[in-house]
Structures are given as structure tokens and as C-alpha cells.
Structure 1
Amino acid sequence: MGLFGFGKKKKHQDEAVADQTEDTTETTDADSAADEQTEPAYPTEAVTEYEGRGEQYGPWDTNDEDVPDYDDYLDLGAYFLPFLQGIELRIKANRSTQTILGSTITYGSSSLEIEAFAAPKTLGLWDDVRADLMEANKDATEEAGVFGTELKLPVSLKGGKTLNTRIVGVDGPRWMLRGIFSGKAASDPDDPETQALNKFFADIVVERGEEPLAPRDLIPMHPPIAPAQRKAMQEAADGETEGKEHLKDIPNKPTGPFDSDQQVEVKTTLSRGPMFSEVR
């Protein structure tokens, strides 16, 4: 899941290319303004209901009509992470099984923990999760935020220190994306770190996949795959099937993204690029 997403574009970007082939001799200010409006955005005012997800705002689903071009995003399976200069990426995994559970982005003195959960087909999940967190944490409070109603939750640390966190949740088609902000991003809505991480969260593209998952199950993830790696894998896959089109219709053909040998290869050849630094 998510391994061969390379080459997916916004629908309006494809249409723009088609229009450009018809007339490439003239560029107007109106065209430039239209291009600027296609950039992913998010509300900057606190609201109790987050409206417009998948149409005006992210986090996005890979099947949204206006999903942004995520060719240059980092692929983690359950979601694609956008570029943000100066961030550090830490992968969260189960120590015993090595199953990847989520990721944490550090930016300046702030951080953002990201997890993607399966959700029911017809109902959102965030309201129920938020209610459970409120019941389990007597110090938690609800507030309006840029992604709708969010939680402010102080967490006690060793040594008597307290870490203030801000927990947001956005419902998508059969998924919920949860973000836990800390540092300045949890306490100062006007700080540049807060604004940068808010936009980062809104620009994430989620890939739910078709496998059956119970509500609140984590959507399966895999080790990070950089854009160049994903492109190379796509080209290799295309090369393997070149001249073998007659094999595509074999009954009961395996549909998994990798065999075990390929999985080992991805893990051992994972490279670090200028966009992300992996911290273990």
C-alpha cells in the first residue's frame, strides 16, 4: 500500500496541462492567480466543526478529486508526508514486533506525532475518540481549533515536569488522522512553528487501502520510501512487465507489493535525503 503512488496528480493540474498544449503562447495574471489558489490550505481561525476536508482543505485522501500532487512526499504506507525544510523524522515502532505504529515530526522546539486509524464507513471517529480521552484524563479540556474541536492535555513527565499537548483529529473516508502537537505548537497559535506544523498536518495525504480493518485499528505502515526510491521501484516494476502483458491476466496472481526478499532490500537500502533525517 502506498508503494507505487508515484505519478498521481491533481485532476485540475492534468486539465491545465491539456489546456496548455492547446495554447502555450500566452500567460496572464489570471492564470497565475488560479495556480496559486491550487495550493493546499487550512482554516486559520478556530472552529468547532472542520468543514471542507477533501474539497478545500486537507488532510487529503488519495482518492479525493483535488488531492495535491504528492510525488515528492515521503511514503510511509498509511500516509504520505509533505516536505518541510528543517524537520526531523522519528519512526515509532513496537519493540517486540518491529511493527511501525506512527511517526513524529520535530520542528524547532515543537513536535507533531501522527497516527492514522481505520474508521467506520458511514460515521466519523474523532468525536468518540475525543470523548474517551476526556473521560480518561480529568485534566483534558476541549477547545475550538483550526481543525475543529481539539483537546488540550497536560502530560506529567518524570522529575515533576509537565508537557502541554494539543490533540487534533480529522475524519476522512474510512479513516481518522490524529495529530498530537507539543512545544510551542501546543500553546501559542500565532507562533511560526505552530503555523508551519498546522500546514504540514493539513498537507498530509492518507492512503486507507482496501484491506479489512476494525474501527480504531492503526492503518498498516512500512519503512519510509523517498520519492526517488519510489520512482525507481515504479520504473523497475514497469520494466519487469514490459513485453509480458499476457501475464497480467493470470488467475489468482499474487497482488502483494513485495515478497520477503524485496522487503529486506527496501529496509537495507533506505537512504536519507535533504528533506528528512531519520532519528532512531
Structure 2
Amino acid sequence: MGLFGFGRKKRQREEAERAENAESDEALKSAQSTADNEDSAEDDEQSGPAHPDQAVSAYDRRGEEYGPWDTADDDVPDYDDYLDLGAYYLPFMRGIELRIKANRATHDILGSTITYGGSSLEIEAFAAPKSMGLWDDVREDLLSGNERAEVKPGVFGMELNLPVVVKGGRVVNTRIVGVDGPRWMLRGIFSGNAASDPDHAETKALNGYFADIVVERGEEPLAPRDLIPMHPPVSPAERRAANGETNAEGDAADEANGKEHLKDIPDRPNGPFDSDQQTEVKTTLSRGPMFSEVR
């Protein structure tokens, strides 16, 4: 999986080069695209499209209005400032902690968990078949294997509420969501306020965070339900250094792309997360080995 040269910046550079050679054609395409978008917007207003804050029975707008996104989506967000974990890119949000899950024996990276206030979000990316999604089957397997599980419509389509008994006999309520993309499925396990109170500020924040994730499936052959390979976190600063780009050049690029406001964030970390936010990990809620700290 490529670590560099992604997001809207790369696309903008490529479009600029094409525009130099076919300026009139690009102008015509742009005008046609604007007209099509206006027509589409009118149709969406009439049909009442799904929104991340509304419960829907089918989540079929991924990659058109909101994510989780695929790196090949036309409207994928600019993820140059995201944290690269190989299988997916995580956006920055103030006040969160990042925990990395790894196999204790092999140290293979298996997933990540975002903690925000009294809520958490466990994130895993799986390979899926080319011709069909994976979430419907996974949800049915979880439902049939857990008598206390309950399916209901949520912001990402049909979601699963699953009470989990943890160490000490305490019951933790979880909300499990899955979104199918091109040859991948992204699963999120919400707990805390984000699992029990749909109107809580932490719920809305983590719903939005999950929707902003960008997935990179890669081209390697993987069996359905295999975890998409991950690597230790790579920050934007590390990517720039690997490309020979200085921090000053990176800041100038951010300003040119309308991100000058990011320089004013107090105590801005070097990339989306600093080392203090990469803490010990907990066991996963799914079957598998125990996990230990990797960074």
C-alpha cells in the first residue's frame, strides 16, 4: 500500500496538468458536471437522502455524500493530514486517545481503538468479496451466536446492539456497525455513551469520526473476512520527511489548500496523534488472541 502522494492534493495536481493540455475540454466538462450536480442535488432534496444524524434501514450513500471512504472514491476527503495505519487512514480530532491492537506473539497490527470522553470506538478493516458485501452475513452470524443481540436501524444502516460480559462479570453495552466498500468492510464497535445514547455529543462525534475514515484495500489477494494488513502508525510529518519535504513546505502546502487555520491550534501534535496518545491496548471484543502494547 502506498504511503505517499494521496488525497485531493495529488488529484488536484493531476487535474491541473490535464487542464494545461485540454483547457477548453476541461471547462466544458466542469460546466456539465456543475449542471449534473445541481440536478442531483434537486433530486436528493426531493427524495430525502440519508444523513449521518438520521437512522436509516439501508446505508447506500457511502462514497457519494459521506463515508467511510475508499481511496479511489471521487469525493474522498483530503487525507494528507490523516494518520496512516496501512488498511485505513484516521482523521485528527482533539481530545481523543489512540490505542493500537497487536498480536502479542507476532506484533502484527490488527486494529485500533479511539477513546473519546466516556466512549470508545474499535476499528477493524476486513477483506470482502468482489461481487457482494460482507456486513449482512457478519451481522447475521453475530446475531445467531448471541441470544442478547438485537438488530435495529442506525446511522450506518442496520446495526447490532450487543451486551458483552467483561472481566469481573460486568456487562458492557456495545453498538456494532459495518459498512461495505469496494472489496472491504469496515467494522466499528462503539461502547460507552456512544453505544447507549444516540443523542449524546460523544455519539455524534464518534459517528462523524467513523464516517471520515478512508480505507485502502490494496491489491494483495485476501480471503473474505481476512483482516486487511496494517502497519505501525505513520504520521503526516513522517510521510513528508520520507518524501524529502520539510515541515515548512508542508505548512505552506496546507495554507495553499485552505488549511492555514490548523497552525493556530494550541499544542498541535506532530501529526494527528502524539506518542503520549498511543497507549496500552485492551483485548478485542471479537474472538482472537490477547493483544499487547506495540508503541
Q: How does 1:27-106 map to 2 (within 5 A)?
A: 42-106=51-115
SS at match of 1:235: coil
Gap regions ≥5 residues in structure 1: 19-33, 237-271
- State yes or no: 1:3 paired with 2:3: yes
Aligned to 2:279: 279
- Whether the 8 Å CA contact 2:82–2:235 is kept in 1: the answer is yes
Q: How far apart, CA to CA, are the structure 1 residues paired with 2:233 and 2:51?
A: 26
**Alignment TM-score, normalising by the size of structure 2:** 0.71
Partner residue in 1 for 2:221: 212
Provide, for residues 181-220 of structure 1, a one-character-per-residue CA deviation record: whole Å limited to 9, x for no partner: 0000001011110000000000000000000000000000
Report the Cα offset of residue 232 of structure 1: 1.3
1:127 corresponds in structure 2 to: 136
The TM-score normalised by the length of structure 1 is 0.75
Deviations 1:105-157 (A, max 9, x none): 00001000000000000100000000000011111000100000000000012
Q: Point out where structure 2 has 5 or more consecutive residues left out of the alignment.
A: 20-37, 42-49, 246-268, 281-295
| Secondary structure in 2 matching 1:185 | helix
Give 3-state SS (helix, strand or coil) of 2:95's partner.
coil
Instruction: Summarize the Cα distance change of 1:211–1:221 in structure 2 as closer, same or farther, 3 Å threshold.
Output: same
- Cross-structure match for 1:254: none
Residue 112 of structure 2 aligns to a residue whose secondary structure is strand
CA displacement at 1:57 relative to structure 2: 1.2
Q: Is the Cα contact below 8 Å between 2:84 and 2:235 reproduced in 1? A: yes
Which residue identity lines up with residue 192 of structure 2 in the other structure? G
Q: Do structure 1's residue 141 and structure 2's residue 138 form an aligned pair?
A: no
Describe the superposition over 1:84-114 as per-residue Cα deviations: whole angstroms up to 9, x where unpaired: 0011000000000111000000000100000
The AA in structure 2 aligned to 1:135 is S
Match of 1:235 among 232, 244, 262: 244
Q: Structure 1's 82 and 42: CA in aligned 2 closer, same or farther, altered over 3 A?
A: farther
Distance of 1:149 and 1:127 partners within structure 2:
9
**Amino-acid identity (%):** 71
Deviation of 1:273 after TM superposition, in Å, equals 3.3
The residue matched to 2:159 in structure 1 has which SS? strand
CA drift at 1:13: 9.8
